[in-house]
């Protein structure tokens, strides 16, 4: 027994001595991949003087934050528009006495045309562009400049002042065309980019979010269904593109709310769904055919409904009917409350305007009206909406 103990003690001493020598002279012999702990095996390889941080590997693998890809996709199809308008001849310039005293100044004023600046979007390889009507209205010459520096004179295919849209056409090859987005999937809070030529400084991209959808009754256009955004829109952005985070066109920038002339974070764009319908009508027919029945309306307020003891509180009060208009021929009278057009319930004058305008001229439908306490169903044939009268100074 004593011999075994001595052998064990000697073996242990030799082993400890050998381990000490190896750990001093060859420490790498004692480490191996199999011997590492799971935590050590997951640590990234670091430079000799680099301190380890848990976020080091995450930062290295994360994608770059931004919308440069969307901007690169959409920006080439956004153009700058210069619209020149012939100056109005003043009465004084035709007076010989005026020309004798102010002839040089009068001729200089007549020689310099008025110019307007805006933006547009190429939506077809055939050269069709969408822009705002107010950008090109009354223009005698329209020049378009692409982001690659090419220039071309544009032809007006058609305009629609009531939606403030216009379609132009240029003849160039290899045109960049923007992709059209789906407004139905757009939601409040989604990121959008506004692309245009503000203040003629050159093409500019600004970012923001969708602040609201379906904005109306702003007094900007006759037909309003705006996308509201806080992406910076300034003078010169009119007619430019509002695109989503993938670079798809979702709106045509049209107006801003501003007290200073610059952006206050409240901009409005026409949805591409509406703009596309107007564009197709202008290209195919040269005009937008909208329905019209010829009535004047007022909001049906709770006070009015209570004063006249009406059994309903929703609808539109008919305050006037034009002679020989479709409404007059159908039997609609002032004082009636119109509650429905076809299958569409009507709760405001704006809804009535949109519902009737959506009907094709010369088509028949029914309208529901309340006359006192009597409910009536009247057949009506919709007519073509008259063109708006242009005010001339």
| Residues with catalytic function | 134, 164, 238
Q: How many residues does the chain have?
A: 393
Q: CA nearest 128: which of 77, 88, 85, 93?
A: 77
CA distance 227 to 171: 31
State the DSSP string of 17-52: HHHHHHHHH-GGGG--GGGS-HHHHTSPP--TTPPP
In this structure, are strands 337-341 and 291-292 parallel, antiparallel, or unpaired? unpaired
Q: CA nearest 276: which of 178, 201, 356, 204?
A: 178
* Residue position matching structure tokens 């000697």: 10
CA distance 321 to 318: 7
Q: Which helix (H) or strand (E) holds 319?
A: strand 316-321
Alpha-carbon distances, residue 243 vs 17, 271, 303 (angstroms): 75, 11, 43
Phi, psi (5° rounding) for residue 250?
-120, -10
Alpha-carbon distances, residue 252 vs 161, 181, 186, 209, 225 (angstroms): 14, 12, 14, 15, 12
């Amino acid at each position: 027994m004593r011999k075994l103990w001595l052998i064990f003690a000697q073996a242990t001493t030799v082993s400890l001595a050998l381990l000490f020598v190896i750990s001093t002279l060859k420490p790498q012999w004692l480490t191996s991949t199999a011997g590492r702990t799971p935590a050590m095996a997951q640590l990234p390889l670091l430079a000799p003087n680099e301190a380890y941080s848990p976020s080091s590997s995450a930062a290295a693998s994360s994608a770059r934050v931004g919308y440069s890809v969307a901007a690169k996709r959409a920006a080439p199809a956004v153009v700058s528009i210069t619209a020149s308008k012939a100056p109005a001849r003043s009465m004084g310039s035709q007076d010989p006495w005026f020309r004798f005293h102010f002839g040089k100044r009068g001729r200089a004023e007549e020689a310099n045309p008025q110019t307007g600046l805006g933006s547009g979007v190429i939506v077809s390889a055939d050269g069709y562009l969408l822009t705002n009507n107010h950008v090109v209205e009354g223009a005698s010459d329209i020049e378009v400049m692409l982001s690659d520096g090419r220039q071309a004179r544009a032809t007006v295919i058609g305009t629609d002042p009531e939606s403030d849209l216009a379609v132009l056409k240029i003849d160039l090859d290899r045109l960049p065309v923007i992709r059209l987005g789906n407004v139905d999937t757009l939601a409040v809070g989604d990121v959008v980019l506004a692309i245009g030529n503000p203040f003629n400084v050159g093409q500019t991209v600004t970012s923001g979010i969708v602040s609201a959808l379906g904005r109306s009754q702003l007094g900007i256009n006759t037909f309003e269904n705006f996308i509201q955004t806080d992406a910076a829109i300034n003078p010169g952005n009119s007619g430019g593109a509002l695109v989503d985070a993938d670079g798809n066109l979702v709106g045509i920038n049209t107006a801003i709310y501003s007290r200073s002339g610059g952006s206050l974070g409240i901009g409005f764009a026409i949805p591409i769904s509406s703009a596309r319908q107007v564009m197709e009508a202008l290209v195919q027919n040269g005009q937008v055919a909208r329905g019209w029945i010829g009535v004047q309306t007022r909001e049906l307020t709770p006070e009015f409904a209570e004063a006249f003891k009406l059994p309903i509180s929703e609808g539109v009060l008919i305050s006037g009917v034009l002679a020989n208009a479709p409404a007059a021929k159908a039997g609609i009278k002032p004082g009636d409350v119109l509650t429905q057009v076809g299958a569409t319930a009507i709760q405001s004058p704006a809804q009535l305007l949109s519902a009737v305008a959506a009907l094709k001229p010369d088509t028949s439908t029914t309208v529901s009206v309340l006359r006192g306490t009597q409910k009536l169903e009247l057949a009506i044939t919709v007519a073509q909406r008259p063109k708006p009268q242009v005010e001339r100074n």
